[in-house]
Structure 1
């Protein structure tokens, strides 16, 4: 491999890492923002009297 190819592969790896990080931040933010609302939406009463 020549230097240019190695540099391009390194840049691509960094770009993918940044993309994965941003997606993870978006998922965590969504869960924190909507977590309790979604839990209430899908709440099922499993008690014997419910």
Structure 2
């Protein structure tokens, strides 16, 4: 009887490892989707900020864009 219980417990414990691996895989996939969405949405804003910093470091003056979709200029 004890042997039967031990074997059953061992199989259940073993089967949970596979489920845990699947859960981790789903979690990693969701994190990747969140990162891709964030980079897509914030990409142009980050690019504009880095351009502004690059202009300031080079000693020039940054002029912001007059439209929401335009690009600023460095002069």
- Structure 2: runs of 5 or more not aligned: 1-6, 61-75
Give TM-score scaled by structure 1 length: 0.80
Runs of 4+ in 1 over 2 A off after TM superposition: none
Q: Number of matched residues?
A: 49
Select the structure of larger CA radius of gyration: 2
Structure with the higher strand share, 1 or 2 = 2
Give TM-score scaled by structure 2 length: 0.56
Q: Which has the higher contact order (CA 8 A, sep 6+)?
A: 2
Q: Give matches, 1:30-49, under 5 Å.
A: 30-43=38-51, 44-45=54-55
Query: 3-state SS of the aligned residue for 1:9?
Result: helix
